[in-house]
Amino acid sequence: MARLEIAQVSLRFGGVYALQDVSVQVGAGELVAIIGPNGAGKTSLVNCVSGVYRPLVGRIHFEGQDITRLAPAARTRLGLARTFQNIALFKGMTVLDNLLIGRHFRQKTGVLAGGIYYGPGRREEIAQRRVVEEIIDFLEIEHIRKKIVHTLPYGLQKRVELARALALEPKLLLLDEPMAGMNAEEKEDMARFILDVNEEKGTSILMIEHDMGVVMDLSHRIYVLNFGKKIAEGEPALVRGNREVQLAYLGAEA
């Protein structure tokens, strides 16, 4: 059974189709990339999975459960997390606080019990801190854990956003251009961390990315969109050699 199954999804804004009859599958422990030119519908597809948009037709299943009409928060509780093309952190807060916010849905202590520090509230806070500190170590951001987010370089902010997504302990991680705007060194670091998340934690990943070198190196399978339609899918070597993909995306001459 696929961890994520997108079946014949279509999405329309007014008279314009952002997606037309798109089907995608992501298996357990699989890293799948979605590529395509700007405006191909990649982010719209991820938004359908995360619950930002509801498709006009089609179904989305996560671990066998139909989540097509579920609210975003309900999908998070099932094990979905995402990052955004444009960084969506609380930039006036510290790195540590941003990650702790990512743990909020795991908290079970109520308002009254939480107000008594030397009780269940304190024990839960210690447990949540332990998880967050493990993520900080995993992504090698110990040196910035108490820094205010807006003071950090762009590449580190992208890493903090990945850390906050991991704080949700996702079974499926949706990455929307995780390396956009990075220099070569920052991309190398981010690629290493994404691979570690997939291989060491066993997290399934659905990734949108324009850097074809990264896509070809990291992905198990690739889906290609163009004008909202799926035009190719398969292993990297197969997609690389697809003539329609070359014409639509890689700049080949007709």
Q: Is the pLDDT of residue 254 over 50?
A: no
3-state secondary structure of 85: coil
| Contact call for residues 236 and 222 (beta carbons, < 8 A) | yes
DSSP-assigned states of every residue in 185-240: HHHHHHHHHHHHHHHHS--EEEEE---HHHHHHH-SEEEEEETTEEEEEE-HHHHH
- Listed residue (5, 24, 15, 131) closest to 68, CA to CA: 5
Residues 60 and 178 placed together within one structural domain of the fold: yes
Look at residues 106, 135, 169 and tell me which one is the last residue of a structural domain.
169
Instruction: Compute the distance between CA of residue 200 and CA of residue 175 in angstroms, rounded to an integer.
Output: 17
Is the CA virtual torsion 51, 56, 62, 65 positive or negative? Answer: positive
**Which of 169, 192, 213 marks a domain boundary?**
169
> Which domain CATH number covers 5?
3.40.50.300
Distance of alpha carbon 179 from alpha carbon 168, whole angstroms: 21
Say whether both 245 and 145 belong to one domain.
no
Q: Is residue 251 situated within a structural domain?
A: yes
CA-to-CA separations, 235 to 34, 214, 241, in angstroms, rounded: 12, 14, 10
Sheet holding 4-13: strands in order across? 16-26, 4-13, 57-62, 65-66
As for how many domains the chain has, the answer is 2
Boundary residue ending a domain (131, 153, 169): 169
Amino acid of residue 3: R
Its pTM stands at 0.90
Q: What percent of the chain has pLDDT over 70?
A: 91
Share of the chain above pLDDT 90, in %: 76
Query: By residue range, what is the domain housing residue 242?
Result: 1-79+170-254
Mean pLDDT is lowest, of 6-10, 105-109, 153-157, 219-223, for 105-109
Q: Is residue 84 part of a domain?
A: no
Answer yes or no: do 252 and 176 share one domain: yes
Q: Per-residue pLDDT tens for 143-156?
A: 999 999 999 999 99
Q: Which helix (H) or strand (E) holds 97?
A: helix 95-101
pLDDT at 111: 47
- pLDDT per residue over 203-240, tens digit each? 999 999 999 899 999 999 999 999 999 999 999 999 98
Return all residues near 98 (Cβ < 8 A) that are at least 6 apart: 89, 90, 149, 160, 163, 164
Mean pLDDT of 194-206: 96
